[in-house]
């Protein structure tokens, strides 16, 4: 299983979300870190960058994937996260 690292911005945003949404986001990230093929339908590459996006209901997680870790740079509602 890969290590999940949150940027300070992502950690602050995640802390402000409702507990239920926060739980779903962290659970899906953990599932992706353990078994990426099971969540592959929710992950897409962002055009023009080396970032990926994970879809969790109305929220999006923007991250980079390394050999041994996942570095989350942004978390937010789908209408705001790409700005």
Residue listed under structure tokens 């093929």: 37
Residue listed under structure tokens 């929710």: 42
- Please state the domain extents for the chain: 3-77
pTM higher than 0.85, yes or no? yes
What is the reported pLDDT for 80?
A: 94
Give 40-77 pLDDT, tens digit per residue: 899 999 999 999 999 999 999 999 999 999 999 999 99
Query: How far, CA to CA in Å, does 18 sit from each of 3, 21, 27?
Result: 24, 5, 14
- The residue among 74, 38, 36, 68 whose CA lies nearest residue 53 is 74
pLDDT of 35 strictly over 90: yes
Domain 3-77: homologous superfamily in CATH: RelE-like (3.30.2310.20)
């Amino acid at each position: 299983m890969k290590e999940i690292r949150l940027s300070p911005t992502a950690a602050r945003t995640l802390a402000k979300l409702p507990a239920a949404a926060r739980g779903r986001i962290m659970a899906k990230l953990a599932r992706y870190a353990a078994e990426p093929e099971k969540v592959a339908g929710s992950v897409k590459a962002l055009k023009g960058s080396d970032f990926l996006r994970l879809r969790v209901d109305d929220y999006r997680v923007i991250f980079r994937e390394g050999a041994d870790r996942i570095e989350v740079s942004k978390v937010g509602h789908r209408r705001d996260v790409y700005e």
